[in-house]
Structure 1
Amino acid sequence: MTTIEVDGLRKRFGPTLALDGMSFTVRPGHVTGFVGPNGAGKSTTMRVVLGLDTAEEGTALIGGRPYRSLSRPLSHVGALLDAAALQPSRSARDHLLWLARSQGLPARRVNEVIERTGLGTAARRRAGGFSLGMRQRLGIAAALLGDPAAIMLDEPFNGLDPEGIVWMRDLLAELAGQGRAVLVSSHLMSELQDTAARVVVVGRGRVIADTSVAELLATASGGRVTLRTSAVPEAARLLKEAGASVNALDGDALTVTGPTAEEIVALLGAHAVPFSEVSSYRASLEEAYMELTRDAVEYRATGSETGR
C-alpha cells in the first residue's frame, strides 16, 4: 500500500525558515487533513513532496521513493496545488489529453475522469473561461487521471458551490475507501471534520499535532458537560462537594468538568435536584485548531517569519 512520508524537512527561502523539521505520514485508506495558519509550510511541504522545491534536509517519499525517481508519476500520485495552472486557450478535454499522452495513458481515461468530475458539458470549452469551481474540478480530474494510489489536494473546496462541496466530500470518502492515501489541505474546518479521519496540524514549519480527528476533538472538549437547572445554587454545591469543577454560564446553565454526564444525572437524581439538560460538550475541529495554533498565529502576526 502506498504512503506519503515526510521526514525532517527543512527549507529556507532566503532568511525565512519555511520548514523546520516537518515530519508526518499519510497512510492509505483514509483522508488526512493538513491544516495550519497561512505561512505554516503546508504548500511548501506539498511542493517538496512533488519535487517542485528542494529541501535542504530531510526526505519526502511516495511509496518509499522520491517523486523524481517515479516513472509516469501521475500513476503514483495525483495532485492539485493551483487550479489556475493550465493553458487557458485549451479546452478541458485537450488539457487532460495532453497530460494523458505525456504519461502514456489512453484517451479513454480522459473520458472517465471528465465524467467522474462532472465536466461532461464543459469538456470542449476553453478552460480560461471556467469559474474557479470548474477549474477546481478540472484540476481534480487531472489528479485522478493516472488512477494513482496517493492523492494530494491543496484547498480543493475553494470556489465550489454547496452542491460542489457535497460532491467533493463524497469523492474524498470514495478515494479513501478505495485504499488510497489522501492528503487534503483546507481552511474549511467544518468540511475536514466531516471528511478526515486524521489531521496534521502545523505551525512555524513544524508539526504541532498528528492525531485522529476523534482524539483531537475529545481532547479539545476537555470532558466538559453542560447542565441546565432551575436550582443552580443547589446543583453547583452538590457538584463541587463531589469534586467537580463548576462554572456558571448565563441564565440557568452551568459548565461542569470532572464527572461524566451519566454521573451528574445520577447525583442530581439522588438529591431530587431538577434539571432540563445534561449534555456532553463536543468541541468543533475549528475550536481545536484555533487552540493548537494560537501561538503560531501570534508568531506570524509579529512579522518575524513569513513562509509559504
Structure 2
Amino acid sequence: MEELTIEVNGLRKRFGGTLALDGMSFTVCPGAVTGFVGPNGAGKSTTMRVILGLDRADAGTALVGGVPYRRLRRPLCRVGSLLDAGALQPSRTARNHLLWLARSQGLPARRVGGVLERAGLAGVARRRAGAYSLGMRQRLGIAAALLGDPPAVLLDEPFNGMDPEGIIWMRGFLRGLAGEGRAVLVSSHLMGELQGTADRVVIAGRGRVIADASVASLLASDRVLVRGDAVRAAALFDGATVTGPDTLLIAGLPAEAVVRRLSAAGVAFAEVSAHRSTLEEAYLELTRDAVDYRAEAVR
C-alpha cells in the first residue's frame, strides 16, 4: 500500500459574515486513524470539503500526497470519501450505484463485488439503495469510498445510523484500514467510539485546532477519585472538585498521599483510586470556550 499524507495548513474560509475556518492546520498520517471532533460549526465539514476540492479556501492549503485534490488523476484511487450517505440515486441498486462510479474512474467491475463484501452488503446488493436504512447507506458510501483501493480515506460521521452490531463492525473496519497503511480521517460526535478506535484526535473550535494529540495523552490523568465524606475531604485538598454527594476528584497527588492525608484527618472513605479520564471529558474541557461558536457558524 502506497503511503499518502494529508496536510492541512493555515486554512481560512469565510461564508458571508461568518468565519468558518481561521487557520485550521493538522496532518493525517498513514497507518493511523485520526479522529476529527469539535462543536457543531467548528469547521470540520468545511475542512473536509476543502480537502476534497468542494469548497475553495480563502487562504492556506490542503494537500493530498503533496498536491491539491483537483490535480489528482483518478482521484478515487488516491482518496476515498464519505461526506453524505444520502448522496445516491435511490432507484438504483447498490450494485449499479457502485458500477457507474467504477466506470467513471476506469476501474474494473470486479472491484464492486469486493467492496460490497467488505462493507457487509453482498447479500443485499441488488436491492434499491433508496430502501436502505441510514446504517446501510453509510455502508454503501464506505463501499464507494473503497472502490479505487485508495491510500487515504475521509469519513464524515460514519457512525450515524449504525446499530450496535454496526458500530462494532465500524470500529474494526477503521482499525483495519489503518492497519493496511492507509491514512484515515474520521469526524464523529461519538467520543466513546473514537476513544476505542482513533490513534490521534484533532479537536477543533472556532475554525481552528484547539488540540492535536494522541488519545493516550489526552486520557492521561493524575487525578484521584475519592468516595466517602466528600465535603470534609474536599477541605483537605486545594483544587479538589466535588462531583457528587459522596465523590470528589483530587488533582496533583498520588492515591497513596491522598489516603495518608484522609487517614490523618480522620475522614472516612470507601474508595481511593486513580481516575481514568474519558475522551468525552477531555473534549468537553478543551472545547468549553468554543461552544458558543455553534450559534454563529453556518456549517
% identical aligned pairs: 71
Deviation at residue 280 of structure 1 after TM alignment:
1.1
- The 2-side partners of 1:197 and 1:74 are apart by 25
- The answer as to 2:251 corresponding to 1:257 is yes
**Does the residue aligned with 1:137 lie in a helix, a strand or coil?**
helix
Residue aligning to 2:114: 112
Residue aligning to 2:283: 289
Residue aligning to 2:292: 298
- The 1-side partners of 2:35 and 2:133 are apart by 25
**Does the residue aligned with 2:288 lie in a helix, a strand or coil?**
helix
- The 2-side partners of 1:231 and 1:43 are apart by 43
Kindly report structure 1 stretches of 4+ aligned residues shifted beyond 6 Å: 266-274
2:162 counterpart (160, 163, 166): 160
Q: Compared with structure 1, are the counterparts of its residues 101 and 299 closer, same or farther at alpha carbon in structure 2 (3 Å cutoff)?
A: closer
Larger mean CA deviation between 58-67 and 265-274 belongs to 265-274
Deviation at residue 28 of structure 1 after TM alignment:
1.1
Residue aligning to 1:71: 73
What stretches of structure 1 of length at least 5 have no aligned partner? none
Give the residue type in structure 1 aligned to 2:298.
G
**Does the residue aligned with 2:66 lie in a helix, a strand or coil?**
coil
**Does the residue aligned with 1:128 lie in a helix, a strand or coil?**
helix
Q: Compared with structure 1, are the counterparts of its residues 296 and 120 closer, same or farther at alpha carbon in structure 2 (3 Å cutoff)?
A: same
Q: Compared with structure 1, are the counterparts of its residues 90 and 226 closer, same or farther at alpha carbon in structure 2 (3 Å cutoff)?
A: same
Deviation at residue 81 of structure 1 after TM alignment:
0.2
Residue aligning to 2:53: 51
Give the residue type in structure 2 aligned to 1:177.
G
CA displacement, residues 116-141 of structure 1 (integer Å, 9 cap, x when unaligned): 01111210111111111111000000
Deviation at residue 289 of structure 1 after TM alignment:
1.3
Residue aligning to 2:225: 226
Deviation at residue 29 of structure 1 after TM alignment:
1.2
Q: Write the mapping of 1:21-60 to structure 2, written as runs, cut at 5 A.
A: 21-60=23-62
Residue aligning to 2:133: 131
> Relative to total residues, which structure has the larger helix share, 1 or 2?
1
- The 2-side partners of 1:224 and 1:37 are apart by 26
Residue aligning to 1:208: 210
- The 1-side partners of 2:132 and 2:293 are apart by 38
CA displacement, residues 135-159 of structure 1 (integer Å, 9 cap, x when unaligned): 1000000011111110000000011
Residue aligning to 1:100: 102
- The 2-side partners of 1:269 and 1:15 are apart by 59
Contact 1:231 1:274 in 2 (8 A): no
CA displacement, residues 4-51 of structure 1 (integer Å, 9 cap, x when unaligned): 110111111122211111110011111111011111111111111111
Count of residue correspondences: 297
- The 1-side partners of 2:8 and 2:75 are apart by 18
Q: Compared with structure 1, are the counterparts of its residues 130 and 252 closer, same or farther at alpha carbon in structure 2 (3 Å cutoff)?
A: closer
Q: Over the residues paired in the alignment, what is the CA RMSD in angstroms?
A: 2.3
- The 2-side partners of 1:249 and 1:204 are apart by 29
- The 2-side partners of 1:209 and 1:236 are apart by 30
TM-score by length of 1: 0.89
Q: Write the mapping of 1:185-204 to structure 2, written as runs, cut at 5 A.
A: 185-204=187-206
Give the residue type in structure 2 aligned to 1:228.
R
